[in-house]
Amino acid sequence: MYDLAIIGSGWAGVNAALKAKELGLNPVIIEKSNLGGACLNQGCIPTKSLIQSAKIYTLAQKSSAFGIDNSGVLSVNLPQIQARKEKIIRQLRQGLEFMLKGVKIIYAPAEFISVDTLKAGSDEIQAKAILIASGSVPLELKSLKFDNNKVVSSNEILNLKELPASILIIGAGVIGCEFASLFSNLGVRVKLVELTPQVLPEYDLDVANRIKGLLEKKGVEINTSTNAADINLQNFDLVLVCIGRIPMTAGLGVEKVGVILEGGRIKVDQYLKTNIPNIYAAGDCIGQAMLAHYAAYQGKCLAVNLASANELKKAVSSNIPSCVFTDPEIASTGLSEEGARKAGFEVKIYKRDFISSGMAKILSETDGFMKIISDKKSGKLLGSSIVGPRATELISILVLAIDNNLTVNQLRGKIFPHPTLSELITETLMG
């Protein structure tokens, strides 16, 4: 009997297995497809690989501004871009296999037989604890089904053989904005539609307004408060539907053993425990923040709790960084301005544009701003939103500052190197 059986090898499952192994437990992973889950195979890694290729293309186009002769003809070689993406995925998957050496991996669909037994292909796996880390899948519009031809999800679009002349993107959340930025950088005509009044509906309004303007500057046509049913699809070569993702629980047989679902999500407590004492769930399938790094955090917490049941660690956090790999990038953590006001804080806002940054000028990437929210009374840092170059790296500094309850005075008193993008943090806090 295993100490822990894990359904799914995404970031929650892999990190749970690695931590369990480190702590002396005996885990087994059951994976129906490829190691690495959606993040490695259909999400984070492949999309960012494509985005980076598009970024290099735009940099090459403006290289004359850096004194580089770009009089030659620039072109996009999509097969080479795709080959690079696949190579990165393959290398990272091999890295995971090496890290998981000594952990049993069974490649088969998993299904509950009882509360402590799983069917995995022809095997029956018994475990003291079972972690459901089955991930999520793209949400489909009832009126516009995926046909894997003209109407595609964020999965199929990663494997395009050629660039479309035009694309309609339905949904201006994180995925929609990333693909709008990607395809516009590659010269594709892009129309982005969103049912709600703003792009990136869950983000700070200042962020949403700025990225909307920057995408429009790239030539993206954006229509908010718009129903996709009102759009003539015949005007576009390709339609990408990215209106969200839903937990993947079908076929697992969780209902047979009495695991409670809420709206398709697996219901868990703050320790990731379901209503069945030895069955846990983590990552996208519990329908909280669908972020790979949060899933990884949850997986590690679960393994720690199994190894030391007397000192349980809560697998929850109010300071989860969120990143959007548009061009320029977007990142946020902690409370937004609106969230801080709703929580009852009297807020003080610090804001500064990247155009004032020496390094941003050197990089020729001056679009965007840094916004830091604090409690006016105590000076305690509450949250931050960044639009600009390397925003997804810079936000980690704010994550650490907020987690350690730093005040404005404490952070702005730190010495950051010059010239760097990071020094804009302390400059922003100068007021």
* pLDDT, position 148: 87
CATH of the structural domain 151-243, one choice from 3.40.50.2300, 3.40.50.11260, 3.40.50.1260, 3.50.50.60: 3.50.50.60
pLDDT of 165-223, one tens digit each? Answer: 999 999 999 999 999 999 999 999 999 999 999 999 999 999 999 999 999 999 999 99
Measured CA to CA, the distance from residue 127 to residue 193 in angstroms comes to 47
> In terms of Cα–Cα distance, which of 430, 393, 403 is closest to 414?
430
Using left for φ > 0, alpha for ψ between -120 and 50, and beta otherwise, residue 138 falls in beta
431: pLDDT confidence band, cut at 50, 70 and 90?
A: confident
Q: Pinpoint the residues of the chain covered by CATH 3.30.390.30.
A: 328-428
> Does residue 19 contact residue 299 with C-beta atoms inside 8 Å?
yes
Mean pLDDT over each residue of the chain, to the nearest integer: 96
318: pLDDT confidence band, cut at 50, 70 and 90?
A: confident
Measured CA to CA, the distance from residue 424 to residue 367 in angstroms comes to 13
List, in sequence order, the alpha helices (H) in 254-354. Answer: 292-307, 337-342
- Those residues whose C-beta lies under 8 Å from the C-beta of residue 217, and which sit 6 or more positions away, are none
Does an H or E element contain 89, and which?
helix 78-99
∠ Cα 397 393 98 (to 5°):
110
* pLDDT, position 69: 87
Fold (topology level) of 2-137+246-307: FAD/NAD(P)-binding domain (3.50.50)
What 3-state class would DSSP assign to 219?
Answer: coil
* pLDDT, position 75: 94
- Those residues whose C-beta lies under 8 Å from the C-beta of residue 405, and which sit 6 or more positions away, are 380, 381
* pLDDT, position 268: 98
What 3-state class would DSSP assign to 108?
Answer: coil
* pLDDT, position 72: 80
Q: Pinpoint the residues of the chain covered by CATH 3.50.50.60.
A: 2-137+246-307, 151-243
∠ Cα 329 331 332 (to 5°):
160
Question: How far apart, in Å, are the Cα atoms of 82 and each of 53, 133, 162, 397, 413?
Answer: 10, 28, 10, 33, 45
* pLDDT, position 299: 98
**Mean pLDDT of the region 306-312:** 90
- State phi, psi for 244 to the nearest 5 degrees: 130, 180
pLDDT of 370-421, one tens digit each? Answer: 999 999 999 999 999 999 999 999 999 999 999 999 999 999 999 999 999 9
What residues act catalytically? 418
User: What is the CATH code for 328-428?
Assistant: 3.30.390.30
Question: Exposed (0-12), middle (13-18) or buried (19+): which is 162, by Cβ within 10 Å?
Answer: exposed
* pLDDT, position 228: 93
